[in-house]
Amino acid sequence: MFYRETGVLKTTYAKDMELFPIPLDKAGFVVVMVLAFFVIPLVSSHYMLVSIFIPFLVFSLAALGLNILTGYAGQLSLGHAGFMAVGAYATVVMYNRYDVPIPVALLGSGLITAAVGSVFGLPSLRIKGFYLAVSTLAAQLIIEWVITHVKWISGGVYSTIDIRALEFMGWQIDTAAEKYQFALIFVVIMAFFAKNVVRSRIGRAWMSIRDMDVASEIIGISQFKYKMLAFAVSSFYAGVAGGLLVAFYYGSANIEEFHLLVSFQILGMVIIGGMGSVLGSFLGAGFIVLLPIFINLTISFVNHRIVDLSKVFTLDLIANVENMIFGALIIFFLAVEPFGLARLWNTIKDYLRLWPFPY
């Protein structure tokens, strides 16, 4: 209702630089967090947690990683599924073979992925835009090849390793609700970290490279250092997301789950959600992960309750209708708001700011 900054006056710079400068935002955030941590695991079914909320969280983290690189530092990557695969196998290998506690294994695989990502980020010093995208495509293919062909990592050509039962300091993480909460803790902490990085010195350096690299160099920002840092941080997020995906969602590391299409999906999340927005990464992941499920449910509801679609269409057409609606919605949202869902959200907020007295 009274969502506004009018009358919310700041007297110190610290107040002006708060994450949630508007009181209602702050309250809203607390409500969302309480819902996410306590209410959702209580009220959701096993199916909802396992096939909706956990993948949503994990892909949000992956999208956030790519958003740091593409949305903030302006460097394209089509290798993020590959980076997730590195994190996935690193987690399983560390946890299964070396008994590394699971949080340490996840962060450790993040670091390993950061190292790998930095190596594949080196071409960004010489090439930009589409050409860089193609060179990161090479990262995707090389990583897939290495993982399937090095026995020590993948255990052979099938490249599937099951992760053993999850346990951390005596806590058996076996129910879906516990897995969800564990993943949520990781995602929330890492999202805050990312938000803080992008709104202070490092983030400004990245955005300056994105907006005008010549001027940023002249101001004293080393292009080498900050491009490498962007690749490292971005792949760190992708690596942790890959580890979470395997440990808390699939239950086994399988290279088939990290093919090129997944890279495009993550890029789609970033573009639809909004480049250069932490919130946008979550909205985009929600869109790509949740929308197909939602369309599917709607169609089957119509099918069973309203009209028997199989009398009108053939069965395989119904499956394709799902994809068609999904594709059409992507185009619709991009046409309505090319800067993504995050921008749409801001537009709504700007409108509410003056509502109900627009003059």
Partner 1 sequence: MPDGVGRPLLKVNNVYVSFGALQALLGVSLEIYPGEIFAIIGPNGAGKTTLINVISGVYHPSPGEVFFEGKERTFMPPHHVAALGIARTFQNVALFKGMTTLDNLMVGRHLQMRSGLFASGVYWGWGQKEEIAHRKVVEDVIDFLEIEAIRKAPAGMLPYGLQKRVELGRALAAEPKLLLLDEPMAGMNLEEKEDIARFILDANEERGTTICLIEHDMGVVMDISDRILVLDYGRKIAEGAPEEIRSNPEVIKAYLGAHGKK
Residues lying near partner 1 in the complex (CB under 8 A)? 13-14, 17, 193-194, 196-197, 200-205, 207-208, 210-212, 214-223, 229, 233, 276
What secondary structure letter does DSSP report for 7? T
Specify the residue, 289 or 341, whose C-beta has the smaller distance to partner 1.
341
CB of 178 vs partner 1, minimal distance in Å? 27
- How many whole angstroms separate alpha carbon 339 and alpha carbon 194? 20
Specify the residue, 113 or 154, whose C-beta has the smaller distance to partner 1.
113
- Could you tell me the CA-to-CA distances from 117 to 40, 136, 325 in Å, in that order? 34, 9, 35
CB of 223 vs partner 1, minimal distance in Å? 8
Specify the residue, 7 or 220, whose C-beta has the smaller distance to partner 1.
220
CB of 219 vs partner 1, minimal distance in Å? 6
CA 96 to chain centre: 26
**Three-state helix/strand/coil letters over the chain:** CCCCCCCCCCCCHHHHCCCCCCHHHHHHHHHHHHHHHHHHHHHCCHHHHHHHHHHHHHHHHHHHHHHHHHHHCCCCCCCHHHHHHHHHHHHHHHHHHHCCCHHHHHHHHHHHHHHHHHHHHHHHHCCCHHHHHHHHHHHHHHHHHHHHHCHHHHCCCCCEEECCCCEECCEECCCHHHHHHHHHHHHHHHHHHHHHHHCCHHHHHHHHHHHCHHHHHHHCCCHHHHHHHHHHHHHHHHHHHHHHHHHHHHCEEEHHHHCHHHHHHHHHHHHHHCCCCHHHHHHHHHHHHHHHHHHHHHHHHHHHHHCCHHHHCCHHHHHHHHHHHHHHHHHHHHHHCCCCHHHHHHHHHHHHHHCCCCC
CB of 189 vs partner 1, minimal distance in Å? 10
CB of 352 vs partner 1, minimal distance in Å? 18
Q: How many CA atoms lie within 13 A of 280 on its CB side?
A: 28
Specify the residue, 128 or 259, whose C-beta has the smaller distance to partner 1.
128
CB of 47 vs partner 1, minimal distance in Å? 35
Specify the residue, 222 or 300, whose C-beta has the smaller distance to partner 1.
222
What is the enclosing helix (H) or strand (E) of 161?
strand 160-162
Specify the residue, 190 or 245, whose C-beta has the smaller distance to partner 1.
190
Specify the residue, 49 or 275, whose C-beta has the smaller distance to partner 1.
275
CB of 342 vs partner 1, minimal distance in Å? 13
CB of 61 vs partner 1, minimal distance in Å? 15
Specify the residue, 181 or 223, whose C-beta has the smaller distance to partner 1.
223
What is the enclosing helix (H) or strand (E) of 96?
helix 80-98
Specify the residue, 105 or 233, whose C-beta has the smaller distance to partner 1.
233
CB of 66 vs partner 1, minimal distance in Å? 18
